[in-house]
Amino acid sequence: MSTPPLHYQSNPPDYAPDADPPLIHQVSVDRAIIGFLQRWLPTYVAEGCRREGKPTSWLARPRVFTTTYEEDDEDFFSDARMPTVIVTAGEASDWDQDGDRNWSVTYRTAISIVSRGRSLVEARLQASLYCSIVTALLLDKPSLDGFAGGVTPVSERPRPIVDPTNRSRTLAAGMGTYDIWVPAVRRGLAGIYKTPPPEPESPWPPLATVQETEVDWIGRQPPSTP
């Protein structure tokens, strides 16, 4: 027996309506990661302190989340803004197309946490801990609360930071690099134009409606529905 066919007859418009979700790009990846970190980092920082044998308040909770770093801004790393989390999604690579012509992408992403210690030893320890905490969080929740499809750590590195205020503070950054895989960043079968819309700024017509449906089945006839 053959597979039951489904027949649809409709009158589609010459071009598809605007049904696509917003485009995913580097800045939208930044924002998704920052929102995820804002929700989960406080809990993971407390757990990281406990596992290091420190009081859960030993590491400060991040205060500022950003995607840019102004080296010439003396107030950028002020004490009131620390710890500061910097998230930057870089190159989109490893483009992969599925059977529905949807494209998935890997974003090489840098996540750094800059903090202040009382000494070089303490600052390096803090940076190292922050970096390991971020990696643990990403590996525990690789979907980033549903945004991503997987995370692969690339590198971790604690390093000193020059104090831009010239006050000889001891600053350090825990710097992590990750490959974050995001599915369906470009949808190949959604929103394809047959012809350009007559007025690009005008509203598009609604989605086509199904006018007639034919369903063939094999075996017992399904119950009728009103």
Q: In angstroms, rounded to a whole number, what is the distance separating the alpha carbons of residues 112 and 176?
A: 6
Residue 158 sits in the same domain as residue 59: yes
Same-domain check for residues 110 and 152: yes
Segment 35-43 shows an average pLDDT of 95
User: How many folded domains does the chain comprise?
Assistant: 2
Whether residue 114 sits in one domain with residue 4: no
Residue ranges making up the domain that contains 3? 1-19+191-226
Q: What is the pLDDT of residue 139?
A: 96
Q: Backbone phi, then psi, for 154, in 5-degree steps?
A: -110, -45
Would the pLDDT of 195 be above 80?
no
Percent helix / strand / coil, the chain, rounded to 5: 20, 35, 45
Per-residue pLDDT tens digits for 66-83: 998 776 677 888 888 899
Residue 77 sits in the same domain as residue 35: yes
For the cut 90, the answer to whether the pLDDT of residue 55 exceeds it is: yes
Q: Look up tokens 């400060």; give the residue.
A: 60
Q: What are phi and psi of 111, to 5 degrees?
A: -125, 120
Q: Are 128 and 158 in contact (CB under 8 A)?
A: yes
Based on the domain organization, do 95 and 197 belong to the same domain? no
> Which of the two residues, 57 and 10, has the higher pLDDT score?
57
Q: What is the pTM of this model?
A: 0.74
Same domain, 49 and 93: yes
CA distance 68 to 87: 8
- 154-183 tens-digit pLDDT: 999 999 988 888 788 999 999 999 999 999
- Please give the pLDDT value at position 15: 44
List, in sequence order, the alpha helices (H) in the chain: 26-51, 120-140
Q: What is the pLDDT of residues 100-132, one digit of tens each?
A: 788 899 999 999 999 999 999 999 999 999 999
Same domain for 82 and 155, yes or no, is: yes
Q: What amino acid is encoded at 79 in this protein?
A: D
The pLDDT value recorded for residue 68 is 83
Q: Which two tokens stand for residue 9?
A: 């007859």
What is the per-residue pLDDT for 196? 62
pLDDT > 70: percent of the chain: 73
Give tens-digit pLDDT for 13-25.
Answer: 444 444 556 788 9
Q: To the nearest whole number, what is the mean pLDDT of the chain?
A: 82
